[in-house]
Amino acid sequence: MSRRKLQALEYPNLPNIDVQALDQIQFRNIVLWLEEQKIRQYNELEGRQPLRDTRNDQQWPSALNQYLNDLDLGWAVGRSQAEILDLLLSIAVTLEYAEEGKAEKFMEACSINVHAKKDQAPQIIAANPLDELDFSSPEFVKGVNALADVLRVTKHPNHLLTLEGCAKLVQTRYSKENMKNGENVIKKGSAFPFQEVDKSFESGDAVLNHAAKILRLLFIMDLRDLQTKINECIVAVQSITANPKTDTRLGKVGY
């Protein structure tokens, strides 16, 4: 990441250094370059002078700490060389991006990289014919409506919702398991009088009241289905834990 930031900032000596293994002189030169070319915390030349003395092993670390404090990064004093470099690079990139015309330059570079990666990506040809369908074509809509007529599913203005209803019906009634049970799958009896259910509220609109009742009943049905699946899971776990398999040959009597 640090190398990419240096590349974005057009650091001139980037090809000649290993960003992951900088020595102290290289690190100090980068910090000095960032201050003089990008960050410019010190307006006066005297303020940058301590950072310019990159060969002074005694004074330069103190100058760096002072520089971090002046940048309101006093909390970074004592951090690793890589962490400090990444912080300074982030500040420099932010300042560079804020300059007029630089934002468009970065965005253009990102766009070129994205398109390049897309061009380099392998082309995957799907073998599934459903991937080639146009779900908004008139032929597809006509086919969904014809399927709804066969299954006696109420049509919705959105043909995709109609298709979803058909899929749920096929899943619950025409699955392989349900087809074996035959007539037992089809629920018989009188329709549930949902109009007479107490809804516990009154909206003032009869149609809205009916819709709210139906939604609540559907929610209760979902909860029952969830509880059934939870019970099945508990039974499956208990069948394993309540009847553990033991190997009596491994038993030992006495000491």
Burial class (CB in 10 A: 0-12, 13-18, 19+), 149: exposed
User: Quick one: pLDDT at residue 187?
Assistant: 63
CA-wise closest residue to 67 among 90, 41, 38: 41
| Residue keyed to tokens 């009188």 | 190
Mean residue pLDDT of the chain comes to 79
SS3 184: helix
What is the mean predicted confidence (pLDDT) over 201-217?
80
Report residue 250's pLDDT band, with 50, 70 and 90 as the boundaries: low
SS3 133: coil
58-79 tens-digit pLDDT:
899 999 999 999 988 888 888 8
What is the mean predicted confidence (pLDDT) over 95-110?
67
| 249 falls within a domain | no
Query: In terms of domains, do 145 and 70 share one?
Result: no
| 190 falls within a domain | no
Separation between Cα atoms, residue 216 and residue 222, nearest integer Å: 10
Distance between alpha carbon 79 and the CA centroid of its chain, in Å?
Answer: 31
| 57 falls within a domain | yes
| 166 falls within a domain | yes
Query: In terms of domains, do 18 and 65 share one?
Result: yes
Q: What pTM value is reported for the model?
A: 0.42
| 164 falls within a domain | yes
User: Quick one: pLDDT at residue 172?
Assistant: 77
Query: In terms of domains, do 112 and 11 share one?
Result: yes
Residue 142's domain spans which residues? Answer: 135-183
CA-wise closest residue to 171 among 219, 163, 130, 184: 163
Report residue 221's pLDDT band, with 50, 70 and 90 as the boundaries: confident
Query: In terms of domains, do 41 and 108 share one?
Result: yes
CA-wise closest residue to 11 among 113, 108, 85: 85
Which of these ranges, 50-59, 150-159, 192-201, has the smallest mean pLDDT?
A: 192-201
The C-alpha angle with vertex 186 and arms to 185 and 188, in degrees rounded to 5, equals 130
Give how many domains the chain has, as a whole number: 3
| 209 falls within a domain | yes
Query: In terms of domains, do 149 and 233 share one?
Result: no
